């Protein structure tokens, strides 16, 4: 494989650089300036091309790629700036004090712990200056008796709030997560909602959501087993929000969660089904174009039906590009097709590159396309069954190698039995899709064949049974893995060097792998010996219970009582794991009324309770609270509150 044979890979890389530049530096240039700069670069490029054409000599060889790549970087920056709705003058971010607002519901009710959540597209707001047009999205949480549906127009009383930043270091940043989805506000409205009517225009997405809801009810009526229902909705309809904790943990531990994310497997089955019975190459040009257009339309309808996740959009876009090539009776490079699909998705939504699903989907695809042929060639069994199993295994190994750095970076775990679990799950998921899609399609046209529904439930129960078995095995999962972003890139560098060494058989690539490994080791030593040796106490800001960590060089002590598991996973453990102490021991404590008397390893004593701590003796400290972006100094008193954010004490 030669890199210069896939130009769209280069285009995508430099376009991504432009997107990242915008997210780092923000909107520092106006759109007019950007378009003038791009036009100037394009004119220079064309001018040089004209000079070369007249002289019949290829001059300025260095300038052509430099100008093209610079143009792509600026284009990535410009497209991202154009798609950033936060820069619009009428956005909610730039409004004064809002007293109420009108908007259109754009998502169905999503059950929460004690409320229902919807996404609302704001149209008008009421301020002290009167009514005015507005833009932006708000996450609303309500307790209405009847559900809100896409297309409903409502008036919300009160002002939306900015999504709060994380209150603890390394905690999950929901503010940034939603900002990259162009959502900056949320509002707990309870029942302060007035229904104004329904948007009159036809909405394809609204109609698709109603079909999705109807099919979900059909599966609920058909299945008796709750776990089968949860997995069936996720696998066939992309409704992962309905997954229970037990099922979700079992699939994560087994390394089979990717099967429940609607992706290329599902879209490929639809595409392959039509091409199995109809051969586009044997049709006339007109009929071939009509046939492939219908197939592409059905694929995108299914993508919308399953929620338009990044993985399914990647697959749908890829098959669309492949179909366009087949319309012209051409064969397209799969790498260029993959790059084109990524470029199209980024043109539609540049911020999609920050979504974990997008990153994992493309990493898995590149891993399968590049590594799998090399892995499968290691062993070529003559038995057809063994060869089929080895093919599945090689695909799993390739995908897991490519995605491991990312999954470890985001989720901090590794499924130890992923090879065995994928040998079980992938064939079963194929059978579930083969039965489930016809069952749903027949139900939509008014013919619900219950024996097919019963068979679908049994297949799901069998698949779940195997997954739960893997979940119960000892050492099923390695936990507590923490990687830095630079480590992720270096691990990919090692894989690339080793792959090129095995394929090209050149020592330079082996030396490159060794050099990267030395860099990893040096970085680890730098982190270890550069560790801050000051004595620190971190008190976490959480909804219930008490949690704190004591750090002193390579040693850490911890204390936690009555902390909800969700707070522990998202607010406490990320910072605790990132510190990477060689010893982590529980601190001694004693109950004292509603609080706890905690004895720190340095001899100091604090009284801890939900909401803050109190120092039991005078001591020299430097106190700060976490403001979402860093530490802000706070008054050094004996009582310190965690309501604003987690507290850090440095003992002097």
Mean pLDDT of 187-201: 87
478-522 pLDDT per residue, tens:
888 888 889 999 999 999 998 888 888 888 999 999 999 998 888
Question: Would you give the distance in Å from CA 603 to the centre of its chain?
Answer: 44
Burial class (CB in 10 A: 0-12, 13-18, 19+), 608: buried
Give the integer Cα–Cα distance in Å for 550 and 648: 10
For the chain, first and last CA: distance in Å?
A: 59
Query: Within a 10 A sphere around the Cβ of 575, how many other Cβ atoms?
Result: 17
Give the architecture (CATH level 2) of 92-201.
Answer: Beta Barrel (2.40)
Tally of residues, the chain:
652
Task: State the alpha helices, DSSP H only, in 412-549.
Answer: 418-444, 450-472, 485-504, 507-529
From residue 227, give the alpha-carbon distance in Å to each of 144, 236, 422, 468: 28, 14, 19, 11
| pLDDT confidence tier of residue 243, bands split at 50, 70 and 90 | confident
Query: For position 279, what pLDDT does the model report?
Result: 67
- Give the list of residues 6+ apart from residue 458 with CB closer than 8 angstroms, or none: none
Whether residue 268 is predicted with pLDDT greater than 80 in this model: the reply is no
- Whole-model pTM: value is 0.86
Whether residue 186 is predicted with pLDDT greater than 90 in this model: the reply is yes
**Domain positions in the chain:** 3-83, 92-201, 485-528, 535-651
SS3 for 138?
strand
DSSP string for residues in 402-432? HHHHHHHHHH-EEETTHHHHHHHHHHHHHHH
Contact 135, 184 (CB under 8 A): no
306-361 pLDDT per residue, tens:
877 777 888 888 888 877 777 766 666 788 888 888 898 899 899 999 988 888 88
């Amino acid at each position: 494989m030669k890199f210069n044979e896939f130009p769209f890979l280069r285009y995508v890389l430099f376009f991504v650089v432009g997107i990242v530049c915008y997210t780092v530096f923000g909107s520092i240039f106006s759109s007019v300036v950007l378009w003038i700069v791009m036009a100037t670069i394009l004119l220079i490029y064309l001018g040089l091309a004209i000079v070369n054409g007249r002289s019949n000599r290829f001059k300025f060889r260095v300038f052509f790629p430099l100008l093209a790549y610079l143009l792509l970087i600026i284009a990535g920056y410009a497209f991202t700036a154009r798609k950033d709705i936060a820069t619009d003058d009428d956005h909610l971010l730039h409004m004064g004090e809002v007293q109420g607002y009108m908007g259109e519901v754009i998502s169905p009710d999503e059950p929460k712990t004690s409320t229902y959540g919807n996404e609302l597209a704001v149209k008008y707001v009421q301020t002290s200056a009167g009514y005015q047009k507005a833009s932006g999205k708000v996450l609303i949480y309500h307790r209405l008796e009847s559900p809100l549906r896409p297309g409903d127009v409502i008036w919300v009383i009160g002002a939306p709030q900015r999504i709060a930043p994380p209150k603890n270091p390394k905690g999950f940043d929901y503010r940034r997560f939603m900002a990259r989805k162009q959502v900056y506000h949320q509002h707990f409205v309870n029942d302060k909602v007035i229904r104004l009517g329904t948007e009159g225009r036809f909405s394809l997405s609204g109609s698709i959501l109603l079909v999705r809801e109807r099919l979900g009810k059909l599966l609920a009526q058909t299945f008796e087993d709750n776990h089968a229902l949860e997995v069936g909705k996720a696998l066939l309809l992309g409704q992962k929000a309905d997954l229970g904790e037990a099922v979700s943990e079992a699939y994560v531990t087994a390394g089979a969660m990717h099967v429940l994310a609607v992706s290329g497997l599902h879209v490929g089955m639809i595409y392959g089904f039509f091409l199995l019975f109809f051969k586009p190459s044997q049709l006339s040009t007109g009929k071939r174009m009509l046939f492939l257009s219908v197939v592409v339309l059905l694929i995108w309808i299914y993508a919308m039906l399953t929620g338009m996740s990044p993985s399914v959009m990647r697959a749908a876009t890829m098959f669309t590009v492949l179909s366009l090539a087949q319309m012209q009776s051409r064969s397209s490079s799969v790498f260029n097709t993959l790059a084109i699909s990524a470029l199209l998705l980024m043109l539609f939504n540049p911020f999609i590159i920050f979504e974990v699903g997008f990153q994992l989907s493309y990493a898995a695809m590149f891993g399968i396309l590049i590594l799998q042929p090399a892995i499968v060639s290691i062993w070529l069994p003559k038995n057809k069954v063994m060869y089929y199993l080895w093919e599945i295994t090689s695909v799993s190994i390739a995908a897991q190698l490519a995605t491991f750095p990312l999954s470890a970076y985001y989720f901090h775990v590794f499924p130890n039995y992923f090879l065995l679990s994928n040998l079980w799950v992938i064939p079963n998921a194929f059978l579930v899709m083969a039965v489930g899609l016809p069952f749903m399609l027949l139900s939509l046209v008014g013919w619900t064949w219950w024996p097919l529904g019963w068979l679908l439930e049994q297949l799901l129960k069998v698949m779940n049974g195997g997954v739960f078995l893997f979940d119960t095995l000892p050492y099923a999962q390695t936990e507590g893995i923490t990687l830095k972003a630079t480590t992720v890139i270096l691990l990919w560098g090692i894989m690339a060097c080793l792959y090129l060494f095995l394929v090209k058989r050149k020592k330079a690539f082996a030396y490159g792998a060794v050099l990267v490994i030395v860099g990893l080791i040096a970085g680890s030593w730098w982190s270890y010996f550069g560790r801050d040796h000051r004595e620190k106490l971190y008190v976490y800001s959480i909804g219930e219970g008490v949690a704190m960590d004591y750090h002193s060089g390579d040693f850490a002590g911890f204390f936690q009582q009555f902390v909800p598991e969700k707070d522990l996973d998202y607010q406490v453990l990320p910072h605790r794991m990132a510190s990477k102490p060689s010893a982590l021991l529980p601190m001694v404590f004693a109950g004292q009324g509603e609080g706890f008397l905690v004895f720190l390893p340095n001899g100091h004593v604090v009284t801890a309770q939900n909401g803050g701590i109190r120092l039991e003796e005078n001591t020299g400290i430097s106190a700060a609270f976490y403001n979402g972006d860093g530490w802000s100094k706070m008054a050094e008193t004996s009582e310190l509150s965690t309501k604003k954010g987690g507290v850090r004490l440095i003992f002097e």
